Amino acid sequence: MLAIRQPHRIIIMHSIQIALEVIERSSVNRGRQWAFESIDPAKTCHIVIDLQCGFMEEGALLEVPVARDIVPNVNAISRSLRTSGGMVAYTRWTYLPEEPNPWSNWYGQLLSAGRSKDFLAFAPGSQAHALWPELDVQPEDVVVDKSRFSAFTQGTCELRSVLDTRGIDTVIVSGTLSNVCCESTARDACQLNYKTIFVADATATYSDAAHNRALNNLAPVFADIMTTDKVLSIIT
């Protein structure tokens, strides 16, 4: 893992490892290194996935320690894109016991009954459901709840209609978990015809191995994998 020393603490980031075979296959598919050498900020949304207290606080139900340390990168992208006329949207993982489209396969089959009850912590209005206070959330930003891993699952999140209303054609994905909600959202975004960028050092999960599997899965087919510095360089 990469450790960045700062005056008061050490920031731990995932060690990014994309296989040479994946890099080569991505370049062959694109005919160049990057599919998206430039973007139109006015048509771009930075989607910040599930950086909520239930994932961020020490001792939280789904604590992802590395997620606390990607926040400066997430905020840098949001500020840059917002300043350039782009859009920032925050998603919140949400448990809705009475939702119109029940997810009984997940809550009851893939999860035990006891584990399913744990997710009541993510009910709207709870501490776990709240966005992490260190995020740079501004009044003009959008906050949407979602009850599936992907923010684009029909009938479970309003994000797509919000983006389409704003004429968005490009999305930048950051947040947590890299290999679950972030990856699911990026895959669906690509298939819904959004230009998709996945930020390798502004996404986080429980281990380097899981993080890098997500990057290697997405790179050849679904998204450009970029660092925060690279993303900032194409926001013009």
How confident is the model at residue 7, as a pLDDT? Answer: 41
How confident is the model at residue 11, as a pLDDT? Answer: 63
CA distance 79 to 62: 27
Q: How confident is the model at residue 50 (pLDDT cuts 50, 70, 90)?
A: very high
Q: What is the mean pLDDT of residues 120-148?
A: 97
More confident: 48 or 2: 48
Cβ within 8 Å of residue 199, ≥6 positions away: 73, 77, 172, 173, 174, 226, 227, 228, 231
Note whether 66 and 13 are within 8 A (CB): yes
Q: How confident is the model at residue 132 (pLDDT cuts 50, 70, 90)?
A: very high
Note whether 84 and 235 are within 8 A (CB): yes
Could you tell me whether strands 2-5 and 10-13 are parallel, antiparallel, or unpaired per DSSP bridges? Answer: antiparallel
pLDDT one-digit tens code per residue, 62-121 = 999 999 999 999 999 999 999 999 999 999 999 987 888 889 899 889 999 899 889 899
Domain at 2-234, CATH from 3.20.20.80, 3.40.50.850, 3.20.20.70, 3.90.380.10: 3.40.50.850
Q: What is the mean pLDDT of residues 34-44?
A: 96
pLDDT one-digit tens code per residue, 178-213 = 999 999 999 999 999 999 999 999 999 999 999 999
How confident is the model at residue 6, as a pLDDT? Answer: 38
Note whether 171 and 196 are within 8 A (CB): yes
